Amino acid sequence: MFTNLADGPHSANRQCDLLILGAGPAGITVALETAAKAPDLNIIVAEAGGLEPSSAAELDLYAGDSEGSSPYSLSTTRLRYFGGTSGHWGGWCRPLDAIDFIARQQAGLAGWPINKPELMSHYRAAHQWLDIPDDNYDPKRLEPGLQEKLIDFSGNEWFQNRLFHFSPPTRFGTKYRSAIEQSDSIECLLNAAAVSYEHTDTRLNKVTVGGLHGQQITIQANRVVIAMGGMESARHLLLMQQQGWQAAGLNSPKLARGFADHFGLRPGILQLQADRIYQRTESSTGPVMPIITPTPEALTSEAWQNACMMLQITPAANRLPPGYTNHQALGFLGGDTWSYTVQMVLQPRSNENSRLELSTQTDALGLPRIKLFWEIDPRDYQSAQSIFTRFTHEIGRLGLGRGQLKPLDTKLRRRSASGTAHHMGTARMAEHAADGVVDRNLKVFGTDNLYVAGSAVFPSFGYSNPTMTIVALAHRLAAHLTATGTH
Ligand X SMILES: Cc1cc2nc3c(=O)[nH]c(=O)nc-3n(C[C@H](O)[C@H](O)[C@H](O)COP(=O)(O)OP(=O)(O)OC[C@H]3O[C@@H](n4cnc5c(N)ncnc54)[C@H](O)[C@@H]3O)c2cc1C
Which residues are within 8 A (CB) of 451 and not within 5 positions of it... i.e. 6 or more apart?
223, 224, 225, 226, 438, 441, 442, 443, 444, 477, 481
24 binding ligand X? (CB under 6 A): yes
Among 222, 350, 351, 465, binds ligand X (CB under 6 A): 465
26 binding ligand X? (CB under 6 A): yes
- Indicate the helix (H) or strand (E) that contains 446: none
SS3 content of the chain, % helix, strand, coil (to 5): 30, 25, 45
CB under 6 A: which stretch of 24-32, 112-120, 378-386, 434-442 binds ligand X? Answer: 24-32
Give me the least distance between CB of 435 and ligand X, in Å please: 22
227 binding ligand X? (CB under 6 A): yes
Site string for ligand X, 85-114 (x = CB under 6 A): xx-xxxxx----------------------
What are the backbone angles phi and psi of residue 401, rounded to the nearest 5°?
A: 165, -155
CB under 6 A: which stretch of 7-15, 47-55, 283-291, 294-302 binds ligand X? Answer: 47-55
Of 69 and 420, the one with the shorter C-beta distance to ligand X is 420
> Could you tell me where the DSSP H helices lie in 183-267?
232-242
Which residue minimizes CB distance to ligand X?
A: 24
206 binding ligand X? (CB under 6 A): no
Give me the least distance between CB of 120 and ligand X, in Å please: 18
58 binding ligand X? (CB under 6 A): no
What 3-state class would DSSP assign to 31?
helix
CA distance 30 to 334: 54
Among 96, 255, 470, 481, binds ligand X (CB under 6 A): 470
116, 120, 122, 124: CA torsion to nearest 10: 140
Among 68, 84, 294, 459, binds ligand X (CB under 6 A): 84
Among 16, 19, 23, 309, binds ligand X (CB under 6 A): 23
130 binding ligand X? (CB under 6 A): no
User: Is the alpha carbon torsion for 278, 284, 285, 287 positive or negative?
Assistant: positive
Give me the least distance between CB of 23 and ligand X, in Å please: 5
Q: Across the chain, how many H-helices and E-strands are there?
A: 11, 20
Amino acid at 22: G
Total binding residues for ligand X by CB under 6 A? Answer: 37
Among the listed residues 30, 50, 67, 385, the one whose alpha carbon sits nearest the alpha carbon of residue 192: 50
**From edge to edge, which strands make up the β-sheet containing 368-373?**
64-66, 368-373, 355-362
- Indicate the helix (H) or strand (E) that contains 225: strand 216-226
**What is the C-alpha R_g of the chain?**
24
Among 18, 19, 21, 31, binds ligand X (CB under 6 A): 21
Among 3, 44, 78, 380, binds ligand X (CB under 6 A): 78
Of 289 and 433, the one with the shorter C-beta distance to ligand X is 289
Which residues are within 8 A (CB) of 298 and not within 5 positions of it... i.e. 6 or more apart?
157, 158, 159, 304, 390
Of 68 and 91, the one with the shorter C-beta distance to ligand X is 91
Site string for ligand X, 139-178 (x = CB under 6 A): ----------------------------------------
193 binding ligand X? (CB under 6 A): yes
207 binding ligand X? (CB under 6 A): no
Among 163, 228, 342, 400, binds ligand X (CB under 6 A): 228
Of 79 and 110, the one with the shorter C-beta distance to ligand X is 79
Among the listed residues 55, 61, 62, 30, the one whose alpha carbon sits nearest the alpha carbon of residue 45: 30
Give me the least distance between CB of 146 and ligand X, in Å please: 21
Between 467-483 and 116-129, two packed helices, what is the crossing angle to 10 degrees? 100
* Contacting residues toward ligand X, per CB under 6 A: 21-27, 46-49, 77-78, 80-81, 84-86, 88-92, 193-194, 227-229, 232, 421-422, 454-455, 465-467, 470
